[in-house]
Amino acid sequence: MYYMGNSKIKELRIVDLFCGAGGLSLGFENAGFKIGLANDIDYYSIETFKKNHPDVSMDNIFLGDISDFIKDKNKPLKDKGFSVVIGGPPCQGFSMANRQRLIRDPRNILYKKFVEVINLSKPSFLVMENVKGMLISASQVVEDLESVGYSVDYKLYNAKDFGIPQNRERLIYIGARKDIVKNSEKVVSDIFKDIESKKTKNLIPIKDAFWGLRKLSSRKQKGDTKIESKESGFTKDVLVGLKTPNNYILRINHGKTPKVIYNHKARYNNARDLEIFRLLPQGEKSDHESIAHIMPYKSRSNIFKDKFYKLQLNKPSKTITSHMKFDCNMYIHPTENRGITPREAARIQSFPDDYIFTGPYTQWYHQIGNAVPPLLGEIIASSIMKKLL
């Protein structure tokens, strides 16, 4: 077991900042870590986090602004007993066009708060996940984290390279505390090398993610998302797949064969959109000739070229985002005349089938789109774990 000073750590505990629905926490749990503290400002995300992490004391899951979380004397950030602080600060202010924007944009105060928590809690390691756009300010991020005592490096990873059926590029920062991790720079380098070793050339198609899910039709009623039916789906339902799941389904469910499914409900679509869904070939978007006669944004096709997109059954998905809460026109099911359901999106994100998303229907999409794929989190966590044992 890893030693900090003269005391042996009995549990490898994490702090998850901006935890959302808990995708990154789940990955770390699966690798053997315990959740010490978690914080997010979004009510429904925290409710989902609590629902799926029942072993974590409710007193250690903090709903509210991170500034209040830092000030809360009942949340012992200064106890110096955390192994890793993880999180993905919201990234509205990161720009590919302005190198200094990370420092100047007031929206990036949340990133500064992440650094503040690192400085307060002094974990052995840190992991920060963010969008590709943060690359432009990567050197500044490294400088800020090094200033509070860490050796830090970063890599751009794509989820599809790790057996996740999604083309999702994310920037991963990993840091090791200089004063207690010997050869901290080399340790960080070794962690990244170990992560790299887990890449695969075998891309997982989304058809593998859709195993066992009932075929659905778009919901006919507009407005009332609580309506459930065999045609448009249920909040809780049975699976209808073959007896033996494919390897991807077994992987996300830890070798178990799932028997029930949650959040597999189709949303409402109007007649025009359904016709567009039907006519559009897989892999094509708004500017395809098959829908030119009914495309509602013909005069602004340069702006709305990605307004509609049909996923390809035999390829990984495009990046799952929280925009799905507004509509799923950019995530049209490859073979069924509708947008993908929250569960299909969750499968693409590598959530297990027993992970239940709570709150209003559109919030399911919001939580799933904002999450870190648990499988990617587990890969990162297991590489760090090797340096703690």
The residues assigned a catalytic role are 91
The Cα 341–Cα 328 span in angstroms is 9
Q: Is the dihedral of CA 199, 374, 188, 93 positive or negative?
A: positive
The two structure tokens encoding residue 221: 């009623």
Side-chain-side CA neighbours of 111 within 13 Å: the count stands at: 26
The Cα 41–Cα 301 span in angstroms is 37
Nearest to 287 by CA among 309, 320, 318: 309
Residue 35's DSSP bridge partners are 14
276 phi and psi, to 5 degrees?
Answer: -65, -45
